[in-house]
């Protein structure tokens, strides 16, 4: 029922903006109590911003719409985790950003598999392919070992190709902090890779 309801919500920014409009916290409380109408109002209120956020990250309009649908479903299922003393919009945008990054990762994996499938067997020896796969695995492991704040900025900077200002807006942090995080993240990533190489050589 929720999926059908979300698919039919199309009022977007036309939701009532009078003084009688309930705030986000009140709508979340009602939605937690089982009110589908309350959650539908939240969808009305944030559908546009969530689609725009997803599009900025993926650069694909169709994917952005799918991500928005997925984000609202994730949010609905996790309403019990929401802390009322924090902005609902920030919480929702984090969910949408994570859903967007998940989509980007799946796209990159699919592209990688396609390249491997299309490569003529005689051009890539089993030894070369093993080395490439090992290097890719070590990079992914090194990324996973980074603190989330460092991993997030690297993914937004290199994977989503966002500028410092856009990253700052997405994460809600100053531009200076973004630059610091990226610098530290690259250094930590390099250290992780060096350490993994040392273990392999030992």
The two three-digit tokens of residue 159, written as one number: 């994977």
Domain(s) of CATH 1.10.10.10: residues in the chain: 125-202
DSSP letter assigned to residue 23: P
Residue-wise pLDDT tens digits, 174-201: 999 999 999 998 888 888 877 766 655 5
Domain 125-202 adopts which CATH fold? Arc Repressor Mutant, subunit A (1.10.10)
Work out the mean pLDDT of the chain and round it to a whole number: 76
Residue-wise pLDDT tens digits, 104-119: 888 776 665 544 555 4
Nearest Cα residue to 106 out of 180, 159, 40:
159
pTM over 0.75: no
Kindly report which listed range (50-54, 128-132, 138-142) carries the lowest average pLDDT score.
128-132
Domain 1-118 adopts which CATH fold? Rna Polymerase Sigma Factor; Chain: A (1.10.1740)
pLDDT surpasses 90 at 153: no
CB 50 within 8 Å of CB 93? yes
Domain(s) of CATH 1.10.1740.10: residues in the chain: 1-118
The two three-digit tokens of residue 85, written as one number: 């003393």
Higher pLDDT pick, 89 / 5? 89
In the chain, the percentage of residues whose pLDDT exceeds 70 is: 69
CA angle 49, 53, 58 (to 5 degrees): 145
How far apart (Å, rounded) are the C-alpha atoms in residues 145 and 158?
17
């Amino acid at each position: 029922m929720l999926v059908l309801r979300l698919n039919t919500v199309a009022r977007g920014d036309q939701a009532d903006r009078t003084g009688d409009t309930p705030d986000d916290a009140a709508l979340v409380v009602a939605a937690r109590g089982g009110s589908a109408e309350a959650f539908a109002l939240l969808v009305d209120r944030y559908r546009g911003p969530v689609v725009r956020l997803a599009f900025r990250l993926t650069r694909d309009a169709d994917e952005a719409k799918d991500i928005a649908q997925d984000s609202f479903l994730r949010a609905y299922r996790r309403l019990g985790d929401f802390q009322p003393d924090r902005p609902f919009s920030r919480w929702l945008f984090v969910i949408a950003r994570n859903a967007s990054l998940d989509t980007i990762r799946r796209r990159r994996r699919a592209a990688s598999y396609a390249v491997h499938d299309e490569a003529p067997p005689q051009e890539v020896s089993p030894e070369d392919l093993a080395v490439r796969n090992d290097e890719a695995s070590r990079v992914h492991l090194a990324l996973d070992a980074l603190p989330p704040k460092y991993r997030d900025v690297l993914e937004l900077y290199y994977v989503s190709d966002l500028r410092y200002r856009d990253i700052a807006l997405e994460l809600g942090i100053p531009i200076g902090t973004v630059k610091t995080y990226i610098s530290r993240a690259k250094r930590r990533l390099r250290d992780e890779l060096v350490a993994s190489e040392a273990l392999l050589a030992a």
